[in-house]
A and B are shown apart, each in its own frame.
Chain A
Amino acid sequence: MQLFSSLWLWKLSCKGIIRTTTGQRHLKHTHTCFRKPQHKHLQRDQLQNSEDYWERRRRTIGLKEWDHARLSDPDWVCAGSAGLDAVGIWFRECTHDREEGTQSEDLRSAMGEFKVHRVRFFDYMPSGIRALAFNQDTERMAVARMDGSVEVFHCSDRFFQEKIIPGREQCGIEGLSWVGERLFSAGLNGGITEYDLTNQKVKYTIDAYGGPIWTITGNQQGTHLAVGCEDGTVKLFEVNEDQIQFERNLDRQKSRIISLSWHPSGSKIAAGMMDMIQVFNVETGHSIHRMLADRGAGTSRSKECVVWSVVYLSDGTIITGDSVGMVKLWDDQTGTLIKSHNVTKCDVLALSVSQNEDSLVAGTSEGIVVQFQFVSMVLEKDDKEWVRTRTFRNHTHDIRAVAEITTAVVSGGMDAQLVVRPLLDKIEVRSAASALRKIHFPHRRLVSCARKSGLMLFQYPGHLELWRLGESEGKGTPGSSLFVKRNPEKLLQLKVKGEDHIRCSAVSPCGGWIVYSTASTLRLYRLHCDNNNISITKISKLPKVLSSANQLCFSSDSSHLFSASAQSSVHIASLSQSGCKFVGTLKPKSGSHQAIHLLAASEDGKWLASANSDHEVHIYNLQTQKAHCTVPVYSSAVTAMGIHPATNCLFMMHADQQMFEYSIEQKQYTDWSRTVQRKGLHRFWVERDTPCLNVMFNPQNPSHVILHDMYMLCIIDQSLPLPDDKTQFYNQLTLKSLTEEQRKSQSHAFKVCKTFKDILCVELMPDQSLVVVERPLEDIATQLPAPIKQKKFAT
């Protein structure tokens, strides 16, 4: 009996039917029924649980009865041929409740009962992705969104969102381009912007004077930038040390330039325009070839054909994607069409070719990514051609940008999720990097909580909202919902003046101060909150150093404000009735000048920890205002950190799901942390694909650490033993059914609750109640732009 339990086979079988080699004799009994697990969450857990469940099932039922059980059990669906020695790949199709990892809202098994405020009134709307740019050398992916914000993801560090540069109103960003380590963007406002990635802000913007810019692309030599403008000109800019300078225009054309692509040698440029493609000689500026794109049949004959994207290969092939839905290959020597592939009925919006030019991906309006590969049709023959190979259906709305990195295809569009689809033929080792990854929410906290007064501050791009939590009464059984005595109410909506979007915001723990920062300003407000009256006053006289902050944090007694600013330094300002006074600046002893993205202050007000984009964590002594120590640099970025109120240990969570605990007073890792590193974390923990964004401690249970990521809430009990790879990781449900003594022997340190989905933030209130801010993905989906109508069978 062979057991096909390897992951990649299971994954392949997700797309189709897999037949086993042993089933050849029983071909006539072949079953072809299968249904794909729909919910991504289920799929991932099924992945993790499949082996255990399958093993147990096989052992309990027995081999002969297995077939009958399989056919009759509605839970189980098989793929593969029937027969005693046939092995199929098992899919388990189940509803959410019966899934093993979930549990009811009972967290009683060895961690205590919590009343949970489920908050769903944070109407966070992510904005769609407009452009992608991959930097091969540094392995960074730059993502431009429709609201003008630019994000940089680190591809090898589990796609952690390292840097976020907030956008502004009416930005209209259309293209991104890396030149070496510098990032440039261009948009419909007619300007080319360079970004200062160290400080995470805009360096400068220069106007190209050509009207709205549709595309920007740099040549492979890194010397020039070409932009395609609305007025029909291709403008060349020379990239200097600190600035870019306009060099010249190529010949002006009659229609707008929608897309550009440099030939790898830098001597020619292909431009996609309305109804045609032109090839320019860069030196002379004249057009060499003019290729007319076909308008298609039917209703599209009356509209012009827009060549949305163009790619120029080194062997002279030009590949274009247009609004008719065709991917066309042109020859630049003769200026004629070689081949045309009809990919879709709607538009082909984005194209991207791999580094070694043997694979091309095309993104369409329907949400489909199609891959073409440069292979030879007959084995061992040399005549290669571009053949359509794979289709990926990971999006629901238009795909505006695709990029092919070495091992994966990254796509993003109007459904605001960044999808990383690894190409399994390029991956040797099965690891966390080989799983499909969807990034929905930003890797920054958008919710801050005033614990002592029960207020929550929600950060939107253009405004802030302050809500007071509701109250419930009575006690219920675990898993039930309690009667709401007082509804949560919105106390305040604070709109930002000016066009910039908010970069960070915070509310003080006492609920008396609100601060937010945009790219250019920082504003501090004093809040007076009686039972029914809210009054807010702006603090107008702020110290000059507090002009803009990368991260903001209040001290636990709300007496000081910490603002992370340029050069990895932190400014301290004291808050009092009279206003805000500058106290001092904390500078690291040495190290990089990268911007700080995390700040954590201790309960007793003595220590402050800061983490920057270069993976450095500095700890400062607030009483002496000097740097105290630096945590040894780890290869992965810090996603969340917190200082324990009692032991003053800094607990850090990293993007690769590793955790460290560093004792500040002793300046070394704690014993518990060393044990964790020695033993290693359980496989299921490490394979999670969303980062932990918040670390909290429970004053009543000093050994508890509360963490959350997008799909789970976890309480780590440092007094319990750690699980090894053989133990069952998600054991809450089993523990529930055991007796007290058995429970004590079976339980381990990680207590995971999967009741809540799409979690943005989890906070622990002083009265031992948890606040879970959820943003269901369906609610986001109802507010996205209109998708293309797709005809499906039987609908």
Chain B
Amino acid sequence: IYIYIYIYIKNIPSSVCTKIRLNTFKETDKMSELTLQFESSDDELPEEVAFDASKSVALKSVKDALDAAKREKNLLKEKRRKKQQLFQEQKKRKLLPQELLEEFDTKPQNVHMENMSDFSLPVSYRVMRIKDESAAKTLQQRATDFVQSRLYGPGTKRTTNAELLSLKKKRGASQGAAVEFANKKLGACKKARIKRSNKRFIRQQKLIPF
């Protein structure tokens, strides 16, 4: 906000006139009148304006500025309130009718501790029931997991039993096919799954003409 302050200095040649502008968002009519007035009569003697008048004008301008600011704040508030109301109405339209909600309220609620998200717990805390776990069991489980991960986890080169047996057969006395082919029961569900997906693929790609 600029504030134009016209400082009227008597008998000063025009070259020395200084202007400090104090301007508001929107120029009021009086202000524009004043500027027009002053700018039109450049070669005449400046009019005498009483101190009180100019004081009142200055005060009024300040008050006007403040009023304008307040008005704008109120305007924004109004706008915001209207928007909020609009949203609430929209939400109301989206929600279920009141009767259903009342019906739900009467039924007992099963609160799962883990689902309550509006608790403000620190990040590293977890909510658990006491009877679900005891400290000793977790330690044992963790120890077992440690051994499992060191022996069978990532970084270890493990293969399947079927492959081991198949290799034995390949280099053994009576050489035969791999165990998965010789023994029908082995991996039966895997084979069934592969068969089904093959059928689906063929049907999708229409590889077999009807």
A interface list, Cβ under 8 A from B? 35, 37-39, 42, 93, 95, 170, 172, 188-190, 211-212, 214, 230, 299-300, 303, 306, 323, 345-347, 365, 396, 398, 778, 781-789, 792, 794-795
Q: Which of B170-187 contact A (CB under 8 A)?
A: 170-174, 179, 183, 186
What CA separation (Å) do A37 and B173 show in the bound complex?
7
User: Which residue of B has the minimal Cβ distance to A783?
Assistant: B161
Is there an interface contact between A38 and B173, defined as CB atoms closer than 8 Å?
A: yes
* Chain B residues, Cβ within 8 Å of A306: 150
Residue with the highest number of chain B CB atoms closer than 10 Å, among A188, A345, A396: A188
* Chain B residues, Cβ within 8 Å of A396: 164
Is there an interface contact between A172 and B140, defined as CB atoms closer than 8 Å?
A: yes
* Chain A residues, Cβ within 8 Å of B159: 786-789
Of A35, A172, A347, A795, the contact of B151 (CB 8 Å cutoff): A347
Other 5 A-B pairs with CB < 8 A, given A35-B173, A787-B158: A93-B173, A95-B173, A189-B136, A784-B161, A789-B163
Is there an interface contact between A789 and B158, defined as CB atoms closer than 8 Å?
A: yes
User: Which residue of B has the minimal Cβ distance to A37?
Assistant: B173
* Chain B residues, Cβ within 8 Å of A38: 168, 172-173
* Chain B residues, Cβ within 8 Å of A347: 150-151
A212-B139, A792-B167 given as contacts; is B152 within 8 A of A785 (CB)? Answer: yes
Q: Which of B28-47 contact A (CB under 8 A)?
A: none
Is there an interface contact between B161 and A782, defined as CB atoms closer than 8 Å?
A: yes
A303-B155, A795-B170 given as contacts; is B161 within 8 A of A189 (CB)? Answer: no
What CA separation (Å) do A794 and B164 show in the bound complex?
14
Give the total of B residues in contact with A, Cβ under 8 Å: 30
What CA separation (Å) do A792 and B168 show in the bound complex?
10
* Chain B residues, Cβ within 8 Å of A93: 173
Is there an interface contact between A788 and B156, defined as CB atoms closer than 8 Å?
A: yes
Is there an interface contact between B143 and A792, defined as CB atoms closer than 8 Å?
A: no
List, sorted by A's number, 13 A–B pairs whose CB atoms are closer than 8 Å.
Answer: A37-B173, A170-B137, A172-B144, A212-B143, A306-B150, A345-B157, A778-B165, A781-B161, A781-B164, A782-B186, A787-B158, A788-B156, A792-B167
Distance in Å from the Cβ of B125 to the closest Cβ of chain A? 23
Tell me whether B57 is interfacial, beta carbon within 8 Å.
Answer: no
Distance in Å from the Cβ of B155 to the closest Cβ of chain A? 6
Is there an interface contact between B140 and A190, defined as CB atoms closer than 8 Å?
A: yes
A38-B172, A306-B150, A788-B156 given as contacts; is B140 within 8 A of A782 (CB)? Answer: no
What CA separation (Å) do A345 and B155 show in the bound complex?
12
* Chain A residues, Cβ within 8 Å of B151: 347, 365, 398
Tell me whether B5 is interfacial, beta carbon within 8 Å.
Answer: no
Residue with the highest number of chain A CB atoms closer than 10 Å, among B158, B179, B183: B158
State the majority secondary structure of interface residues on A: loop
A188-B144, A190-B136, A190-B139 given as contacts; is B157 within 8 A of A782 (CB)? Answer: no
What CA separation (Å) do A230 and B170 show in the bound complex?
44
What CA separation (Å) do A146 and B139 show in the bound complex?
18
What CA separation (Å) do A189 and B137 show in the bound complex?
7
What CA separation (Å) do A24 and B77 show in the bound complex?
114
Closest 4 CB pairs of A and B: A789-B159, A212-B143, A786-B158, A38-B173
* Chain B residues, Cβ within 8 Å of A789: 157-159, 163
Tell me whether B162 is interfacial, beta carbon within 8 Å.
Answer: yes
Distance in Å from the Cβ of A206 to the closest Cβ of chain B? 14
Bitwise, B35-73 to A at CB < 8 A (1) or not (0) is 000000000000000000000000000000000000000
What CA separation (Å) do A212 and B136 show in the bound complex?
8
Distance in Å from the Cβ of A499 to the closest Cβ of chain B? 13
Is there an interface contact between B156 and A782, defined as CB atoms closer than 8 Å?
A: no
Distance in Å from the Cβ of B134 to the closest Cβ of chain A? 11
Of B140, B171, B173, B186, the contact of A795 (CB 8 Å cutoff): B171
* Chain B residues, Cβ within 8 Å of A787: 158-159, 161, 164
What CA separation (Å) do A718 and B95 show in the bound complex?
93
Residue with the highest number of chain A CB atoms closer than 10 Å, among B137, B150, B183: B150
Tell me whether B160 is interfacial, beta carbon within 8 Å.
Answer: yes
State the majority secondary structure of interface residues on B: helix
Is there an interface contact between B165 and A170, defined as CB atoms closer than 8 Å?
A: no
Distance in Å from the Cβ of A594 to the closest Cβ of chain B? 33
What CA separation (Å) do A52 and B13 show in the bound complex?
146
What CA separation (Å) do A785 and B161 show in the bound complex?
8
What CA separation (Å) do A230 and B165 show in the bound complex?
37
Is there an interface contact between B157 and A346, defined as CB atoms closer than 8 Å?
A: yes
Is there an interface contact between B158 and A788, defined as CB atoms closer than 8 Å?
A: yes
Distance in Å from the Cβ of B172 to the closest Cβ of chain A? 5
* Chain B residues, Cβ within 8 Å of A783: 161
User: Which residue of A has the minimal Cβ distance to B135?
Assistant: A211
What CA separation (Å) do A37 and B172 show in the bound complex?
9
Distance in Å from the Cβ of A744 to the closest Cβ of chain B? 37
* Chain B residues, Cβ within 8 Å of A189: 136, 140
Distance in Å from the Cβ of B182 to the closest Cβ of chain A? 10
Is there an interface contact between A299 and B155, defined as CB atoms closer than 8 Å?
A: yes
User: Which residue of A has the minimal Cβ distance to B170?
Assistant: A795
A211-B139, A795-B171 given as contacts; is B165 within 8 A of A782 (CB)? Answer: yes
Q: Which of B183-198 contact A (CB under 8 A)?
A: 183, 186
What CA separation (Å) do A300 and B157 show in the bound complex?
12
Residue with the highest number of chain A CB atoms closer than 10 Å, among B152, B159, B162, B164: B164
Distance in Å from the Cβ of B18 to the closest Cβ of chain A? 77
Distance in Å from the Cβ of A274 to the closest Cβ of chain B? 10
User: Which residue of A has the minimal Cβ distance to B157?
Assistant: A789
Is there an interface contact between B152 and A786, defined as CB atoms closer than 8 Å?
A: yes
Distance in Å from the Cβ of A778 to the closest Cβ of chain B? 6
* Chain B residues, Cβ within 8 Å of A211: 139, 143
* Chain A residues, Cβ within 8 Å of B157: 345-346, 788-789
Distance in Å from the Cβ of A39 to the closest Cβ of chain B? 7
What CA separation (Å) do A300 and B140 show in the bound complex?
25
What CA separation (Å) do A788 and B165 show in the bound complex?
13
Of B152, B155, B174, the contact of A95 (CB 8 Å cutoff): B174
User: Which residue of A has the minimal Cβ distance to B187?
Assistant: A782
A785-B152, A786-B158 given as contacts; is B179 within 8 A of A212 (CB)? Answer: no
What CA separation (Å) do A788 and B144 show in the bound complex?
19
Distance in Å from the Cβ of A401 to the closest Cβ of chain B? 14
Is there an interface contact between A786 and B160, defined as CB atoms closer than 8 Å?
A: yes
What CA separation (Å) do A784 and B161 show in the bound complex?
7
What CA separation (Å) do A345 and B158 show in the bound complex?
12
What CA separation (Å) do A170 and B173 show in the bound complex?
41
Is there an interface contact between B143 and A230, defined as CB atoms closer than 8 Å?
A: yes
* Chain A residues, Cβ within 8 Å of B170: 795
What CA separation (Å) do A190 and B144 show in the bound complex?
12
Distance in Å from the Cβ of A794 to the closest Cβ of chain B? 8
Is there an interface contact between A188 and B174, defined as CB atoms closer than 8 Å?
A: no
* Chain B residues, Cβ within 8 Å of A303: 150, 155
Distance in Å from the Cβ of B179 to the closest Cβ of chain A? 7
Residue with the highest number of chain A CB atoms closer than 10 Å, among B150, B156, B174, B186: B156
User: Which residue of B has the minimal Cβ distance to A365?
Assistant: B151
What CA separation (Å) do A346 and B143 show in the bound complex?
20
User: Which residue of A has the minimal Cβ distance to B143?
Assistant: A212
* Chain B residues, Cβ within 8 Å of A42: 173
* Chain A residues, Cβ within 8 Å of B183: 778, 782
Is there an interface contact between B155 and A170, defined as CB atoms closer than 8 Å?
A: no
User: Which residue of B has the minimal Cβ distance to A35?
Assistant: B173
* Chain B residues, Cβ within 8 Å of A39: 173
What CA separation (Å) do A773 and B73 show in the bound complex?
93
What CA separation (Å) do A211 and B139 show in the bound complex?
7
Distance in Å from the Cβ of B49 to the closest Cβ of chain A? 88
Distance in Å from the Cβ of B146 to the closest Cβ of chain A? 8
What CA separation (Å) do A579 and B17 show in the bound complex?
126
* Chain B residues, Cβ within 8 Å of A230: 139, 143
* Chain A residues, Cβ within 8 Å of B137: 170
What CA separation (Å) do A778 and B185 show in the bound complex?
12
* Chain A residues, Cβ within 8 Å of B156: 346, 788
Q: Which of B102-144 contact A (CB under 8 A)?
A: 136-137, 139-140, 143-144
User: Which residue of A has the minimal Cβ distance to B139?
Assistant: A211
What CA separation (Å) do A111 and B191 show in the bound complex?
45
* Chain B residues, Cβ within 8 Å of A778: 165, 179, 183
Distance in Å from the Cβ of B150 to the closest Cβ of chain A? 6
